[in-house]
């Protein structure tokens, strides 16, 4: 204990004497440099090992960049790109929600005025605090989760409408095709209203039970409806923020089950990945070259089961799985994740389309159609500011009309506050 107290005292003295910054600089030049050198060495070692495994088992594929040959072959086909935009309105007196899902549908090789079409497929304007809200039957403490659920379901609903109406031969969605749903199975999470469910499922006669109106079964129903159309629908994820190498782990597990990889070796690889915090994007960025992608593997986006809410486990366990890969379009950009349903027709053909649309602009590495629809769907900041300002004006008028000094003071706080509560920060 005496030694522990002495160490604590020494740390406090160093901080108080101004040696803290010196120590940080010394660590960054010395110890941290050694750690980074070791990291690079270990990264090279583990990626080389995994790449050898992939090559030995024929799990790396390559797409050839051949625009002069590829694009004429696409003439007569139609591709739809889908993305959703959310109004950024955050005020304490209300919770207005504004979401619109846009589509950009294009016919490569068509030189007429019908070549491309922009459309707002679905739009939701509602107030999450309002008892008359139609989309959700009730409010919820975590407003961000309600907005996430609304955006995800409307995007999938839009993909279903396009697939159902046969307006496109292929559909590319900006983001995951299937999202993990367990985080939204919380106690008290409100179900959709009846009209909300009918809009999502594009069925004016739908009349499900109270349980079926919840996000988890409704989202599942919408995904299964898309799958039944047989139209290839792909999710393209630009930035992977996952801490876990999900696809790599699945490849290793598959090789174990085939008897190609020993359990001991698989365990060692897994320990390296965890120790250095390597996710799929980092690994495949080092391993893959231009136009290469890993053989798609089946991934259950709903794992681990330990996170499943008991009330909804019967729905979650039957959720569709994704056929998932990582594609590196060029040497200068990070690979991105591509997801589709397991039984998707012409998987390689659509992947080739994704690859070529990622190479349409110089120094760019993502399907350009998704960038176009992203900008079309985006709710501009001036619109969010205007709506927020309108809500603030209404709040102030109501507060003044009440004659309550505390209500007026609160309204003033709402009107003047920007970000954190700067009114109460000490001056320098």
pLDDT digits (tens, 9 = 90+) for 347-357: 999 999 999 99
Q: What's the pTM? A: 0.82
- CB neighbours (10 Å) of residue 164? 14
pLDDT at 13: 55
Give the residue ranges of DSSP H helices in 276-331. Answer: 280-287, 313-316
pLDDT at 142: 84
pLDDT at 86: 84
pLDDT at 278: 83
pLDDT at 44: 80
Encode burial over 144-153: b for 16+ CB neighbours within 10 A, e otherwise: eebbbbbbbb
Helix (H, G, I), strand (E, B) or coil at 360: coil
- CB neighbours (10 Å) of residue 319? 18
Low-confidence ranges of the chain (pLDDT < 50): 14-15, 93, 419-425, 428
- For domain 67-242+279-377, which CATH number applies: 1.10.3470, 2.20.28, 2.40.30, 3.30.2170? 3.30.2170
Query: 85: which strand partners?
Result: 100
pLDDT at 133: 56
pLDDT at 170: 98
206 vs 37: CA distance, rounded Å: 60
* CA distance readout (Å), 261 to 49, 161, 241, 252, 253: 12, 44, 28, 8, 9
pLDDT at 15: 45
282 vs 55: CA distance, rounded Å: 18
234 vs 236: CA distance, rounded Å: 6
pLDDT at 159: 98
* CA distance readout (Å), 96 to 86, 139, 288, 421: 11, 12, 44, 22
């Amino acid at each position: 204990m005496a030694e522990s107290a002495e160490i604590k005292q020494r740390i406090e003295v160093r901080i108080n004497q101004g040696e803290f910054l010196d120590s940080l600089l010394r660590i960054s030049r010395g110890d941290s440099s050694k750690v980074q050198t070791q990291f690079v060495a270990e990264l090279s070692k583990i990626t080389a090992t995994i790449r050898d495994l992939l090559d030995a088992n024929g799990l790396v594929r390559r797409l050839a960049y051949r625009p002069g040959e590829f694009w004429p072959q696409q003439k007569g086909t139609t591709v739809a790109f889908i993305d959703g935009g959310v109004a950024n309105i955050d005020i304490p007196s209300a919770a207005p929600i504004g979401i619109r899902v846009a589509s950009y549908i294009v016919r490569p090789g068509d030189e007429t005025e019908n070549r491309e079409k922009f459309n707002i497929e679905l739009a939701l304007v509602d107030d999450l605090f309002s008892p008359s809200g139609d989309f959700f039957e009730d409010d919820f403490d975590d407003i961000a989760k309600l907005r996430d659920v609304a955006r995800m379901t409307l995007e999938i609903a839009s993909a279903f409408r396009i697939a159902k109406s046969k307006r496109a031969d292929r559909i590319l969605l900006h983001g995951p095709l299937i999202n993990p749903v367990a985080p939204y199975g919380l106690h008290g999470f409100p179900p959709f209203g009846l009209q909300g469910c009918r809009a999502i499922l594009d069925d004016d006669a739908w009349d499900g039970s109270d349980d079926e109106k919840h996000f988890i079964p409704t989202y599942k129903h919408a995904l299964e409806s898309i799958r039944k159309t047989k139209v290839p629908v792909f999710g393209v994820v630009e930035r992977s923020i996952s801490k876990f190498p999900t696809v790599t782990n699945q490849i290793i597990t598959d090789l174990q089950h085939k008897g190609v990889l020993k359990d001991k070796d698989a365990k060692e690889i897994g320990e390296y990945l965890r120790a250095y915090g390597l996710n799929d994007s980092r690994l495949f960025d080092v391993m893959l070259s231009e136009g290469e992608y890993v053989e798609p593997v089946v991934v259950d986006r709903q794992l681990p089961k330990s996170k499943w809410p008991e009330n909804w486990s019967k729905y979650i366990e039957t959720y569709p799985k994704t056929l998932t890969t990582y594609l590196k379009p060029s040497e200068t950009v990070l690979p991105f994740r591509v997801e589709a349903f397991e039984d998707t027709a012409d998987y390689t053909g659509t992947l080739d389309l994704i690859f070529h649309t990622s190479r349409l602009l110089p120094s760019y590495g993502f399907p350009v159609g998704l960038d176009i629809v992203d900008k079309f769907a985006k709710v501009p900041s001036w619109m969010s500011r205007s709506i927020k300002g309108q809500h603030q004006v209404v709040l102030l008028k109501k507060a003044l009309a009440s004659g309550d000094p505390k209500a007026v003071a609160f309204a003033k706080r709402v009107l003047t506050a920007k970000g954190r509560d700067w009114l109460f920060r000490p001056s320098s």
